[in-house]
Chain A
């Protein structure tokens, strides 16, 4: 009897842990905003939204391969996308969500990265990835716009 109960308990636990049939998967904290901001509007005037809490929506067109610490969300207009970055380990986005639709919420960060830092980052990335990097390809400082987030919902397609 005890053995049977133990078996049932283990099976129930396994079921709780590994079975998820939901159409939507939530990552991190629940979304709180009611209104969404278009990525095209953010990119058109980032200074207007700098430091503000925003919710955006779009297809996931990139995922951090090593740590799952960011996703790239495509904008409502072609050739536009916005990085949604989370602190390492707080949320880990799996590669499988690439191509699915995300609603993500966070605070917009607009920073200017100096030429020296860009070269440093490029060299570090090249070393890690084994890809070639030409410092001459960095022509000047770059404005980096990203949504620093705590929560996202990904809808399975």
Chain B
């Protein structure tokens, strides 16, 4: 009976493990990326460029847009225009914003393209896509719990739970507990 139970446990641990590898990698990489959100933007890179042009001659919307398009070599009308303050006008294009300092003619060209692959990983990891992914992510979480628990019983003997496994299990359990005690006390 015990042998059969262990056989199924090992088989399920193996197959669910194979199935979960891609998701574990996605969640792991994204986890590292968003863990350091204070130091960098895990979703978007940022590119800024100052373009020097002559001071703008006009102040009214349509004229500013036309003058900016001519000076910057833009062929399409902007998606939107915003007069932020007396001196600053902004032109919005898909993925790019031009902030114009009208008195000096200096233009800040700013774009924030998504980081390839990492952006998609973060969307899935943080469940920004919502919808059906919510349930897929729930199933994955259950699978992770199963992998953890079933992993305890894959090996027997000296390398199993009764052997070195119990010490490593205790160490891994104590790590978050001790950290939390230290965190709340400090």
Contacts and interface: CB of A to CB of B under 8 A. Distances in A.
Contacts of B86: 79
A100 B95 CA distance: 11
Interface stretch (B23-31, B125-133, B147-155): B125-133
Contacts of A92: 126, 128
A8 to B, nearest CB: 16
Interface in B88-113: 90, 92-95, 97, 112
A3 interface: no
B21 interface: no
B97 A66 contact: no
Interface residues of B, number: 28
A98 interface: yes
Contact of B38 (A89, A95, A100, A128): A128
B159 to A, nearest CB: 36
A78 B83 contact: yes
B80 A99 contact: yes
A102 to B, nearest CB: 11
Contact of B78 (A74, A78, A79, A99): A99
A96 interface: yes
Interface of A: 13, 16-17, 59-61, 65-68, 74, 78-79, 81, 89, 92, 94-96, 98-101, 128, 157
26 contacts: A16-B132, A17-B132, A17-B133, A59-B92, A61-B84, A65-B44, A66-B37, A66-B41, A74-B80, A74-B82, A78-B83, A79-B83, A81-B82, A89-B126, A92-B126, A95-B112, A96-B94, A96-B114, A98-B92, A99-B79, A99-B94, A99-B97, A100-B79, A100-B80, A101-B80, A128-B38
Given A65-B112, A89-B126, 12 more contacts: A17-B133, A61-B84, A65-B41, A66-B37, A66-B41, A68-B128, A81-B82, A95-B44, A95-B114, A99-B78, A99-B93, A128-B38
Interface of B: 37-38, 41, 43-44, 46, 78-80, 82-86, 90, 92-95, 97, 112, 114, 126, 128-129, 131-133
